[in-house]
């Protein structure tokens, strides 16, 4: 029995007991809590609280659900001297994240061209399990350049423009990336996959701004009602998966799981050689993911330019959901560096932080929260309150309530497609199975999730987006 009590609206605390080094915190409504209690998410929050060097709280966002080691939707910060880094706190899809492109088109501009546009995007952007990329990386040397330098390398080669990385989390490059810490197997899995969506819950959506909640911030972001946006959701593909697998094995061999509540929480001290090696390899995978979304964005632009005259597109923002990064926070009145693990959680920095792109610094960073397929997505803005409560973190999506296997057993993908089409949403997917796995009903209601983080001030609503065209991974 886990001792958990409600301490305020939408905030639940798991009392510190036994081997816990800090309390646990769950941010959820009563409705969402009922879904979260159906799996072992709360147990995982408690387990993470037992890890060495953790500070503050072991936290979980309202989209939380059961994951490998850490819950998906989990956030934990660690002291650099006493703390650890854990691949389970980042996940297998390192830097799975979202890129949003804003255009000068309105919904009426798409009329009569929807099918042609969707089919063109589906042909241009590789998606699905094992699907390779038309972008050919020229051997190990160029792969190293991409994973150590991120988006900037592609821009220098003529793919995109400078703003494409200036308006990106960390400017599209984690600086501590070290290719020498990447295995040959990881290289082989990644070298043919740059510029691909992959499968699972990854997607490309053409969306329309359906409602504006904060006109002042929307203006700074360059958003208005009726505007067409493009959302790209994908990560580091097989490359990131292999990096995670490699270091889980290495950490298990070196440190084991003897003193851990769950073997999936294997870790290494941050300042150990193995801890540093993992962070160097993880950063390579993160940079690969930034470059991956960037390249897809370049191809999306080409498709639109072929169909619409005087078309303009800019990168609104790109943010990662699965990562471990060193960031500064005030802890016990001292400004210190900590290693923040976000697994299925989005950075949510408020006004004034130097990490926020200059164009947004007065209001805070854009926060990108996709819904499930066929439901609304949101753009919010980061807050100072998130920095105080959750180490600058908020929700990353709707969060599953049904496993993929259960979805395949209980949902007909063909019927999902027909239903979405009746709602005015055109979909392209590699299989009916993938549509069943990602049907709207297998996720929490994004309105509820966004409502919680908005009410708590972990991020504040700016605009709501409605899907128009969907390419499913």
Strands 334-343 and 72-79: antiparallel
Strands 203-212 and 377-381: unpaired
Q: How many CB atoms lie within 10 A of CB 49?
A: 24
Q: How far apart are the first and last CA of the chain?
A: 39
64-68: Cβ within 8 A, 24+ apart: 64/26, 64/28, 64/36, 64/344, 64/399, 65/36, 65/39, 65/41, 65/399, 65/400, 65/401, 66/39, 66/40, 66/41, 67/91, 67/343, 67/344, 68/92, 68/264
**Secondary structure E strands in 54-168:** 54-65, 72-79, 84-85, 97-106
Question: Distance (Å, rounded) from C-alpha 392 to C-alpha 67?
Answer: 21
DSSP 8-state code for residue 336: E
Q: What are phi and psi of 253, to 5 degrees?
A: -65, -40
Angle at 333 between CA 328 and CA 338, to 5 degrees: 25
294 is known as an active-site residue: no
* 3 state SS of 339: strand
Q: For the chain, what is the radius of gyration of the CA atoms?
A: 21
Nearest to residue 237, comparing CAs of 89, 133, 368, 123?
133
Strands 24-27 and 54-65: parallel
Q: Of 65, 202, 341, 396, which is the active-site residue?
A: 396
* Side-chain half-sphere CA neighbours of 473 within 13 A: 21
* Side-chain half-sphere CA neighbours of 107 within 13 A: 14
Q: How many CB atoms lie within 10 A of CB 429?
A: 24
Kindly give the residue spans of alpha helices, DSSP state H, lying in 201-352.
Answer: 215-221, 237-255, 273-307
| Residues designated catalytic | 396
């Amino acid at each position: 029995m886990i001792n958990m009590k409600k301490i305020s609206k939408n905030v639940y605390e798991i009392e510190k007991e036994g081997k816990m080094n800090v309390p646990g915190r769950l941010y959820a409504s009563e409705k969402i809590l009922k879904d979260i209690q159906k799996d072992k998410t709360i147990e995982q929050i408690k387990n993470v609280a037992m890890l060495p060097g953790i500070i503050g709280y072991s936290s979980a966002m309202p989209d939380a659900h059961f994951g490998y080691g850490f819950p998906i939707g989990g956030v934990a910060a660690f002291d650099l001297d006493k703390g650890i880094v854990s691949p389970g706190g980042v996940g297998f899809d390192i830097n799975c994240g979202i890129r949003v492109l804003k255009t000068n088109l309105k919904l009426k501009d798409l009329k009569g061209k929807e099918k042609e546009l969707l089919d063109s995007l589906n042909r241009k952007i590789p998606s699905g399990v094992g699907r390779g990329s038309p972008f050919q990386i020229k051997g190990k040397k160029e792969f190293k350049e991409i994973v150590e330098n991120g988006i900037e390398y592609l821009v220098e080669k003529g793919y995109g423009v400078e703003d494409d990385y200036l308006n990106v989390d960390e400017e599209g490059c984690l600086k501590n990336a070290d290719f020498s810490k990447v295995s040959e197997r990881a290289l082989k899995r990644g070298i043919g996959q740059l510029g691909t969506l992959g499968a699972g819950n990854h997607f490309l959506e053409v969306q329309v701004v359906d409602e504006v909640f904060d006109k002042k911030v929307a203006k700074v972001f360059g958003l208005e009602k009726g505007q067409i946006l493009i959302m790209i959701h994908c990560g580091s593909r097989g490359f990131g998966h292999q990096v995670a697998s490699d270091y889980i094995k290495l950490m298990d061999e070196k440190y084991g799981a003897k003193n851990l509540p769950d073997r999936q929480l294997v870790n290494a001290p941050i300042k150990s050689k193995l801890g540093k090696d993992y962070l160097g390899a993880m950063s390579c995978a993160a940079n690969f993911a930034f470059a991956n979304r960037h390249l897809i964005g370049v191809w999306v632009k080409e498709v639109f330019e072929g169909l619409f005259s005087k078309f303009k597109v800019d990168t609104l923002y790109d943010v990662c959901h699965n990562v471990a990064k060193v960031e500064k926070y005030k802890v016990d009145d001292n400004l210190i560096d900590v290693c923040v693990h976000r697994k299925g959680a989005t950075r949510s920095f408020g006004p004034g932080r130097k990490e926020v792109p200059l164009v947004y610094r007065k209001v805070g960073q854009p926060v990108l929260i996709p819904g499930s397929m066929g439901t609304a997505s949101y753009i919010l803005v980061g807050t100072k309150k998130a920095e105080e409560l959750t180490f600058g973190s908020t929700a990353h999506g709707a969060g599953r309530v049904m496993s993929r296997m259960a979805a395949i057993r209980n949902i007909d993908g063909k019927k999902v497609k027909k239903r979405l089409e009746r709602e005015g949403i055109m979909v392209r997917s590699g299989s009916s199975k993938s549509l069943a796995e990602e049907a709207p009903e297998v996720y929490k209601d994004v309105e509820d999730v966004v409502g919680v983080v908005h009410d708590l001030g972990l991020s504040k609503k700016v605009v709501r987006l409605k899907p128009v065209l969907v390419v499913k991974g």
